[in-house]
């Protein structure tokens, strides 16, 4: 893990009788941080807390060594944010909207600089003067990102930045995040449910559920721990593939079964039982087994296993 720039220490936050954060401990590092967890895990609450928008009931959240609640103005001067639900003035042009936000944030509102910022997030000149109401979902997201980048923040928090975007636009937004991180030294905290994409770009992962930290670290640390978990993936090359797939589909320990090209991708709850049963099933249909390979768990299976573990 890289240099720590933020930390939650045993943070609890309740809304009435609902406990949104329950003694949450986490570290935000320099680089790109992925904040993951199921719906209702507390990700957006954690984000609002780190911006000093809400006060913890217990514990403290710090960014850059400053308590987020007691220094919220200083924090918001150094942090940019793209909220889960984007709200724009639809009758303003993209440029006018950005200029308004720059004024409110106390950032430079020079038109030249703002146009440059819009181009940086790949909203080209032809879009600057157009009404935001006519922007596509991808363009609105880019404008939101430009807004988050106003005032040269050290950390940019993105809550579900790629929700509602098509795969091409999702990839483009994340490419932009990587570029801004590598070339401009901006750190990111990204909350998202699209794990295979986060897996590609994040330096550090924070996995939470029910207001608590489940695990945190670089991808290797997340995946290593998964070897202790019960869900394991195998790639099986077998002929004829359909007959074996049909039999495996009826086995109780098989969680998921996919035929991709000439291989079976099997996710199992019990690897030992799978390895015992596979040769028997193959023999039963007179098939030939060419290869059985265990696949390292990916972030998605870590996520699934961790949030379904007892007590998680
Ligand atoms: N203002 C609020 N009033 C009441 N309950 C709230 C409030 N904000 C959050 N909660 C509750 O706190 C819990 C955590 O919500 P939060 O929005 O932080 O989750 P999340 O991880 O962002 O979920 P999602 O992935 O669906 O965006 C949920 O049970 C939610 O209902
Ligand atoms: Mg949320």
Give residue-wise pLDDT tens across range 141-176. 999 999 999 999 999 999 998 887 888 888 889 999
How high is the pLDDT of residue 228?
A: 47
Domain with CATH 3.30.70.100 in the chain: 230-296
Sequence length of the chain is: 312
Domain with CATH 3.40.50.300 in the chain: 4-225
CB 54 near ligand 1, within 6 Å: no
Topology of domain 4-225 in CATH is Rossmann fold (3.40.50)
Cα separations in angstroms, 30 against 27, 43, 250, 256: 10, 19, 47, 36
Whether this model's pTM surpasses 0.85: no
Candidates 43, 50, 157, 307: which one to mutate for ligand 1, based on the most atoms within 8 Å of Cβ? 43
Closest Cα to atom 10 of ligand 1 = 20
Pick the CATH number of 230-296 from 3.40.190.10, 3.40.50.720, 3.30.70.100, 3.30.1390.10: 3.30.70.100
Q: Where does the pLDDT of residue 229 fall: very low under 50, low under 70, confident under 90, or very high at 90 and above?
A: low
Closest Cα to atom 27 of ligand 1 = 39
* Contact (CB, 8 A) for 29 and 200: no
How high is the pLDDT of residue 225?
A: 56
Beta strands in 30-170 (DSSP E): 32-36, 58-63, 66-67, 79-82, 155-159
Q: Where does the pLDDT of residue 309 fall: very low under 50, low under 70, confident under 90, or very high at 90 and above?
A: low
Q: What is the mean pLDDT of residues 129-151?
A: 94
Closest Cα to atom 12 of ligand 1 = 20
The SS3 assignment for 126 reads helix
Ion ligand 2 residues within 5 Å by Cβ: 43-44
CA 240 to ligand 2 centroid distance, Å = 45
Taking 60 as the threshold, does the pLDDT of residue 7 lie above it?
A: yes
Q: What is the mean pLDDT of residues 252-278?
A: 88
Whole-number Å distance between alpha carbons of 119 and 125: 7
CB 48 near ligand 1, within 6 Å: no
* Contact (CB, 8 A) for 297 and 226: yes
CB 20 near ligand 1, within 6 Å: yes
């Amino acid at each position: 893990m890289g240099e720590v720039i933020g930390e939650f220490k045993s943070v609890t936050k309740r809304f009435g009788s609902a406990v949104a954060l329950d003694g949450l401990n986490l570290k935000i590092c320099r680089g790109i941080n992925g904040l993951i967890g199921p719906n209702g895990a507390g990700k957006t609450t954690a984000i609002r807390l780190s911006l000093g928008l809400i006060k913890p009931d217990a514990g403290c959240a710090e960014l850059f060594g400053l308590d987020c609640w007691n220094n919220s103005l200083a924090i918001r001067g150094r942090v940019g944010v793209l909220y889960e639900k984007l709200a724009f003035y639809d009758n303003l042009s993209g440029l006018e909207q950005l200029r308004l936000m720059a004024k409110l944030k106390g950032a430079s509102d020079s038109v030249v600089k703002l146009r440059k910022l819009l181009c940086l997030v790949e909203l080209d000149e032809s879009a600057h003067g157009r009404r935001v109401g006519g922007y596509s979902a991808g363009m609105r997201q880019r404008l939101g990102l430009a807004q988050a980048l106003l005032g040269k923040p050290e950390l940019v928090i993105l809550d579900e930045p790629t929700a509602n975007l098509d795969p091409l636009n999702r990839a483009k937004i994340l490419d932009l995040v990587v570029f801004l991180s590598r070339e401009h030294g901006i750190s990111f905290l990204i909350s998202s449910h699209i794990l295979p994409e986060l897996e590609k770009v994040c330096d550090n992962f924070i996995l939470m559920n029910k207001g608590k930290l489940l695990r945190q670290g670089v991808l290797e640390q997340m995946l290593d721990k998964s070897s202790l978990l019960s869900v394991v993936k195998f790639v099986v090359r077998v002929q004829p593939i359909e007959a074996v797939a049909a039999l495996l589909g009826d086995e109780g320990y098989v969680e998921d079964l996919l035929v991709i090209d000439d291989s079976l991708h099997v996710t199992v709850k019990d690897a030992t039982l799978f390895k015992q049963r596979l040769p028997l099933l193959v023999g039963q249909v007179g098939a030939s087994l060419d290869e059985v390979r265990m696949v390292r768990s990916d972030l998605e299976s870590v996520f699934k296993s961790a949030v379904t573990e007892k007590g998680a």
